[in-house]
Structure 1
Amino acid sequence: MNRVMQVCRLDFWINPVFDEMIQANPQLALQVLPRQGDDERTLAALRQAHAYHVSAAKDELPWHWFAGQALIEQCPALLCVSSGGAGFDTVDVAACSRAGIAVMNQAGANAHSVAEHTFGLLLAVVKRIVESHNTLRHATGFSREDLMGEEIHGRTLGLIGLGEIGRRVATIARGFGLEVLAYDPHLRDEQVQAQGAQPVTLAELLRRSDFVSLHCPLDASTRHLMGAEQFAAMKRGAVFLSTARGGIHDEAALYVALKNGHLSGAGLDVWACEPPPQDAPLMSLPNVVATFHTAGVTHGGRRNVARSSAAQIAALLRGERPSHLLNPEAWGLISERVGRVVGV
């Protein structure tokens, strides 16, 4: 490859290792473009780009910079779109496939951070840590028994999704002495068992689990996967957790299940609108522990995501198949387009 390939990203914060890796490669040229204030400049650069690294945070990215049909049509040189996380809500994968554009995510890069956060939420809810903190700071005349939590040892954790993050949660769960159930329609029973989990149907998982934790992607098949019917099917007094994506659980239905006492608590890192408004119904409940989609936003997690992103872009622009290709069905067309440009 003799020509220099153009890599573009918008001016969101990213761990410096991304820029360092791209700039250290003599075959790649990096442009950091304004996401607001100079759309003409940004679009002009994207029209010449071979790679576009896009934020995975849908509520932080202006819609016209989503990697969808409208933008793709204006970027004839584009060979790959790299999502800055495991999620890819800002990318129209089908449109990219039709255009012969590779789509990569960074699955697993921040999985340890998200798994750790899952247990942070679980313990915060079950041990009533936030309630205790607020009571100590603002109230008087209470006893320790007024803030009594629960013990999780020997109870049952149900995982919906057993991918990179779900597998790590299962490993941590065994250290806490939890029985682990898992529902993942994409895995065979023996694959689930190899991760130390018992394969079950979704109905059985909801019926048996003391704690239900979401670890599946958001797509047409999982939107509102957890709704009123599913929350009603959970054990009375169970706890619901999600570090997956907003939209997989129905927030209104969850509020009802918590408000009427059927569920004892929820730990939520993801929301339909991020951040959720302070007057959102779920935010009014003392048994909800809320975070701002920060499970994977750690220094280590962000560093790993940046490194993975830069490495996959470089590989694709060398003509190699990236390790986390989201549209493998389009690889024939993608590799043909890449080959014509880079000469491999």
Structure 2
Amino acid sequence: MAALKRVCRFNVWINPVFDERLRAEPDIDLQIGDLQGPEGALRALLEQAHVFHVSPARDELPRRWHVTDALLAECPNLLAVSSGGAGFDTVDAAACTRAGVAVVNQVGGNARSVAELAIGLMLAVSRKICVSDRLLRTQRGFSRESLMGHEIGGSTLGLVGIGHTGMAVAKIARGFDLRVLAYDPLLTAEEIRARGAEPVDRARMLAESDIVSVHCPLDDTTRGSFDAAAFAAMKPGALFITTARGGIHDEAALAEALTSGHLAGAGLDVWAPEPPTLGASLLALDTVVATYHTAGVTHEARRNVASWGADQIIGLLKGERPPRLVNPEVWPAVLARRARLFG
């Protein structure tokens, strides 16, 4: 009888297809830890786990269970950490690489959903949809002209990053007759053009765009990159949209750029922390449309991510190279350790 391959996840919400796929495999033992239970029980599960499927929501998962050097030291059998999303904010990928542990994510699984919300935020801010909704529910005596907004059609859209989601935004944007610019230092000009945008440097993108939409990861190169200087460099009257990660933009600097009138509005799906405090200055502004990191939270996207995650784990445990391997340099070591564990 083949040795059991142990997969651990905690009891945060996940589309049921994840558990169904794994439990259909006779040699996989899926264990679900209770985050409200004793810490020792969770630690015991991780000590035995070969794969840890972890929530990527950094402000929802207790820090004790973020994948760090310290946690990895408690997981001697671990072959892989699987993020339950496109990002992996709760995983120190460098620490995993040092430990010879593969990191996989589900990048692309929610790209369409995120792209649709980004476009939706552009429309909501530009057409004052949320302001109109609030006024119509609570007041009378205002005119339709007081709610007059702008069409987004024919404007210039600047994308910060044109990966899976940015490319999906560019595709939808063409239907609105938007001119699409993209700044992405990780891609060649030819690749950016192939993905549906005109390649530009960051300064030109900020200066020419009527709407700037952020689709880059949060890392040491992007953290705080939208600061007061970046907002000042944007076109007067422009809109700022982000469905990326909180921490890329400076919330206080953005509030100042909006309050001063330099920027006309913002659509924000991501915050630092999440959720923001009720007294957050950005939430007090009618020029801001706010959502709670829900861009990728649709039934379709959550099913995609859960299904992809399960399939990737099953394949990995069979010795198949994962299609979304974040740290490919560790794969030979993972294969060797897998052979020692399972024969």
TM > 0.5 fold call: yes
1:1-344 alignment, distance < 5 Å: 2-343=2-343
Report the 3-state secondary structure (helix = DSSP H, G, I; strand = E; otherwise coil) of the residue aligned with 2:152.
coil
Q: Which runs of 5+ in 2 are unaligned?
A: none
Report the 3-state secondary structure (helix = DSSP H, G, I; strand = E; otherwise coil) of the residue aligned with 1:180.
strand
Q: What code does the residue aligned with 2:122 have?
A: L
Deviates more, 1:315-324 or 1:122-131: 315-324
1:36 CA drift (Å): 2.3
Is the contact made by 1:319 and 1:342 (CA closer than 8 Å) also made in structure 2?
A: no
1:338 CA drift (Å): 2.1
Q: What code does the residue aligned with 1:227 have?
A: D
The size of the alignment, in residue pairs, is 343
1:331 CA drift (Å): 2.1
1:140 CA drift (Å): 1.6
What is the distance in 2 between the residues matched to 1:286 and 1:183?
Answer: 29
Per-residue CA deviations over 1:109-128 (Å, capped at 9, x if unaligned) read 01111000111111100000
1:320 CA drift (Å): 1.3
Q: Deviation above 6 Å: which 4+ runs of structure 1?
A: none
What is the distance in 2 between the residues matched to 1:117 and 1:339?
Answer: 44
1:39 CA drift (Å): 1.1
Q: Which runs of 5+ in 1 are unaligned?
A: none
Per-residue CA deviations over 1:21-43 (Å, capped at 9, x if unaligned) read 00001121100101122211111
What is the distance in 1 between the residues matched to 2:24 and 2:105?
Answer: 22
What is the distance in 2 between the residues matched to 1:274 and 1:209?
Answer: 28
Report the 3-state secondary structure (helix = DSSP H, G, I; strand = E; otherwise coil) of the residue aligned with 2:264.
strand
Give the RMSD, CA atoms, in angstroms: 0.9
Is the contact made by 1:106 and 1:309 (CA closer than 8 Å) also made in structure 2?
A: yes
What is the distance in 2 between the residues matched to 1:342 and 1:221?
Answer: 40
Report the 3-state secondary structure (helix = DSSP H, G, I; strand = E; otherwise coil) of the residue aligned with 1:263.
coil
What is the distance in 2 between the residues matched to 1:208 and 1:82?
Answer: 39
Deviates more, 1:37-46 or 1:291-300: 37-46
The alignment's TM-score, normalised by the length of structure 2, stands at 0.98
What is the distance in 2 between the residues matched to 1:260 and 1:145?
Answer: 23
What is the distance in 2 between the residues matched to 1:298 and 1:284?
Answer: 27
